[in-house]
Amino acid sequence: MGLQLIPYNTNFDVVGKKNIIFGILIAIAVLCLGSIFIQGFNYGIDFKGGLLLEIRTNGPADVAKLRSDLSGVVVGEATLQEFGSPNDILIRVERQPGGDEEQLAALAKIKETLGTSIDYRRVETVGPKVSADLIRNGVYAVLWALVAMLVYIWFRFEWQFGVCSFITLAHDSLIVLGLFAFFQLEFNETTIIAVLITVTYSINDTVVIYDRIRENLRKFKKLPLGELINLSINETLSRTILTSTTMLLSLIGLYFFGGPVIAAFSFPIIVGITAGTISSITVSAPLLLYTGLRSNKMETVAS
């Protein structure tokens, strides 16, 4: 017999507690929106422009000394972090005042300060136009992903399922974005990836629950919709928790043992998958109660 984290005959009354759950999740959404509009995002150089250098030193790098040396060379703070090994350092410098010539001059000063013994693995300059394009494309990527999920669920099930899944996915995306705003984590290209991974994983759990609801709508035609949704959630609960736990264990391992760069990438995904799992169970299915879903409407839906 396989691993059964949740007993098969569970009977959690998710629908009965929906008002409390919705109230908590709405409060979290309001907090996230408030953080986004009041604090804003801490944009990285991907979105606000600047210099990025990936260097390798002959021995273990003295990050504190490198940071001190660069502090008087560039305008603004230079961010340094190890990645991969103590010899590999990632340097981020915010965009310097002026145009392209000033950026190249700042890069030359940085190289002069670091010396000739440094091996430059990567040097990138991100301009304001590229930054604006990245912001616009990132927004489009998230919005089109949500719309694509809405259309997919709409055609696979019914419009009620599509609308409810869209609301759920938007809430999950908002939580990840709110996390970056509230804690002022660096907002860069990996943030968009984290949001898209959250949306993808959340819809996977949601589809499993929706598929069981559709199956039970045909099987129990006279069962009240609230009880049917509860039954479907409980029948898929073990699978949902087990799958999410497996994924989270892998991500937690990456967070603690993958180094600073991998940790910064895996942390929002951990939060996103956790939020997506909870919302798939407690939001996506109970929302169907407010859409006028009826058993007789679903009898003709093809499997």
Residue 31 pLDDT grade (very low, low, confident, very high; cuts 50, 70, 90): very high
Burial status of residue 273 (CB atoms within 10 A of its CB: 0-12, 13-18, 19 or more): buried
User: How many CB atoms are located within 10 Å of the residue 132 CB?
Assistant: 13
What type of residue is 83? Answer: F
Rounded mean pLDDT of the chain? Answer: 81
Position 270 scores a pLDDT of 92
Task: State pTM to two decimals.
Answer: 0.76
| Dihedral sign for Cα atoms in the order 151, 153, 155, 159 | negative
The full DSSP string for 6-65 is S-TT----TTTTHHHHHHHHHHHHHHHHHHHHHT--EE-HHHH-EEEEEEE-SSS--HHH
Q: What is the mean pLDDT of residues 223-240?
A: 87
User: How many CB atoms are located within 10 Å of the residue 164 CB?
Assistant: 25
**Predicted confidence (pLDDT) at residue 2 exceeds the cutoff of 70:** no
Position 193 scores a pLDDT of 83
User: Which of 72-86, 140-154, 249-263, 264-278 has the lowest average pLDDT?
Assistant: 72-86
DSSP run (H or E) holding 119: strand 119-126
Could you give the CA distance from residue 279 to residue 120 in angstroms, rounded to a whole number? 45
Q: Provide, rounded to the nearest whole percent, the portion of the chain with pLDDT above 90.
A: 10
Position 226 scores a pLDDT of 86
Coil/strand/helix, residue 211: helix
Q: Which domains can be identified in the chain, with CATH numbers?
A: 18-43+130-298 (1.20.1640.10), 50-126 (3.30.70.3400)
pLDDT in tens, 66-82: 777 777 777 766 777 77
CA distance to 213, 229, 272, per residue, from 5 (Å): 22, 21, 22
Is the Cβ–Cβ distance between 145 and 273 less than 8 Å? no
User: Which of 2-6, 28-32, 66-70, 205-209 has the lowest average pLDDT?
Assistant: 2-6
User: How many CB atoms are located within 10 Å of the residue 95 CB?
Assistant: 20
Position 298 scores a pLDDT of 45
pLDDT in tens, 158-196: 888 888 888 888 898 899 999 999 988 888 778 888 888
Position 252 scores a pLDDT of 93
Half-sphere CA count of 259, side-chain side, radius 13 A: 11
pLDDT in tens, 78-106: 777 777 677 788 888 777 777 777 778 88
CA distance to 18, 199, 225, 258, 268, per residue, from 229 (Å): 12, 22, 6, 40, 30
Q: Which residue has the tokens 């600073």?
A: 260
Position 241 scores a pLDDT of 86
